[in-house]
Amino acid sequence: MVRIAFCCLVLLPLAVMAQTTAYGPLEKLPSTVNSSYEESLPHLSPDGTTLYFTRLISPDNIGGQYAGADVWASRYDVTTIQWGKADNRRMNINSSGNNSIIGISRAGDVIYQLRTSSASMVPGIYFSKRDGNAWTKPELIPIEGIYSQGFLGAYISPDADVLFLSMQGDDSRGQEDLYVSVKNSYGVWSIPKNLGPTINTSGFELSPFLSPDKKRLYFSSNGHGGEGDADVFYSDRLYDSWEAWSLPKNLGTAVNSKAFEGYYAVYGDTVAYFASNRDGKTADIFRTKVTVSMPKFLVLDKPEVKDAVVLKTDSVAGEELPLTEPELVKLFGLKVDTNIKFDKASFTMRSDSKELLFFMVNKISQRKDLTIRVVGHSDNTGSEGFNLELARRRANTIRDFLIENGLDNHTMKSEGVLGGIAGVVEIWFYKK
């Protein structure tokens, strides 16, 4: 085992690596899906054969043209290589009110729904189970604190353990805000909590969608600036918390236009569906291919390096074997003074410190035989509980950064401890 102690930064010749997302040409789905009415909320079944979506102001809806929205479904025809004619009656889940699918189980055998009327409070969400080619009658999942004044939208994860809501609550900052509710071990859902000013603005935030790995939240907003009416943004989850999120980033002109874009949903990092009214007054459903890749490395200018590497090795018991000093030097290709330090009472990583971590990711991304342990040490700024939580958050900051930038397939652990070298985060390497 080799320990690298991070305490302050000395600039090095580094290779910067960051994940990039590329989008293919936009494809408007055919008239078997889109109509002269309003289509939105696309959800793709896990096997990719069925597209569920919501259609509004259609005279063919169960309650008529002005009663509400219906869930429609289109099956993919492998013979014609096209989406088949959509239907809203075969599923047997629509009512005369507003109906929408807000999530699908991983196996595709349970659909979760939002069913609203003119009432100001909504008792919860609903679910139906697959019954042959149809679905069972929707059953209620009670959740307190859901308001339907104005617009109400939702997304539930495939594991049915976290629910995001777009609604105007008592503590909303403007129009609709994003809220989160989490299910505990007893199956009880928490009161929805506002995601705060990082996400929510004086405008509206709606159409939440959580990535399959539960690390990235997509949503639409007219309050963060952008291309036009409302743009699609994403924000990354921080510190394993459902309430801490990175600053939203705009998906750019590959998806967004001067019109409204929303209800973005991405599947398997290969295809994304969303709704837009760029072609007229009503929204249609579009599709685009998504490619996630790592770009070529950009080598920075080499500054003067005055400090050599400081390494320590310790023998450990068990199946994991320690990396030796020569192995570590060979792994990184140069002698580095791996010094990064957090400011006092802070768990936010300095921007210049990220360069060193990018370099590390570059060097060990292909070494799947390594187990990585991140240990954060506290400083003496507060109570024992405060210091321990600070140490944990520092360790999680480094761990999350490594995972998000290419080490997601590595075995990684993080922990915080009291004492040691104040303000330091250590990274320990083991060979499996």
Alpha helix segments (H runs only) across 316-383: 325-332, 353-364
Whole-number pLDDT of residue 11: 26
Q: What is d(CA 7, CA 337) in angstroms, rounded to the nearest whole number? A: 10
Q: Which residues of the chain have pLDDT under 70?
A: 1-20, 118-120, 269, 292-330, 332-341, 350-353, 355-356, 359, 381-383, 419-424, 432
Contacts of 238 by beta carbon, 8 Å cutoff, 6+ apart: 244, 245, 246, 400
**Closest by Cα among 208, 238, 235 to 224:** 235
- Report d(CA 315, CA 428) in Å as an integer: 12
Q: What are phi and psi of 76, to 5 degrees?
A: -85, 125
Q: Is the distance from CB of 348 to CB of 397 less than 8 angstroms?
A: yes
Q: What is the amino acid identity at position 264? A: Y
Q: 113 pairs with which residues across the strands?
A: 101, 126
Phi, psi for residue 74 in degrees, rounded to 5 = -125, 130
Domain ranges of the chain: 2-18+298-431, 20-293
First and final CA of the chain: distance in angstroms?
11
- Record the tokens describing residue 135, joined without a space: 């679905």
Residue 308: predicted pLDDT: 27
CATH number of 20-293: 2.120.10.10
pLDDT of residue 146: 93
- Taking 3-state DSSP, the helix, strand and coil percentages for the chain, each rounded to the nearest 5, stand at 10, 40, 50
Q: In this structure, what token pair is assigned to residue 166? A: 């777009």
Pairing of β 370-377 and β 411-417: parallel
Task: Report the pLDDT value the prediction gives residue 109, as an integer from 0 to 100.
Answer: 95
- Full-prediction pTM beyond 0.75? no
Q: What is the pLDDT of residue 303?
A: 30
Task: Look up the CATH superfamily of 2-18+298-431.
Answer: OmpA-like domain (3.30.1330.60)
State the pLDDT at residue 423.
65
Count of Cβ atoms closer than 10 Å to residue 291 Cβ = 11
Give dist(CA 428, CA 425) in Å, integer.
Answer: 10
pLDDT of 132: 84
| Phi/psi-derived region of residue 68, left when phi > 0, alpha when psi is between -120 and 50, beta in every other case | left
Q: Apex CA 104: angle with CA 130 and CA 158, to 5°?
A: 125
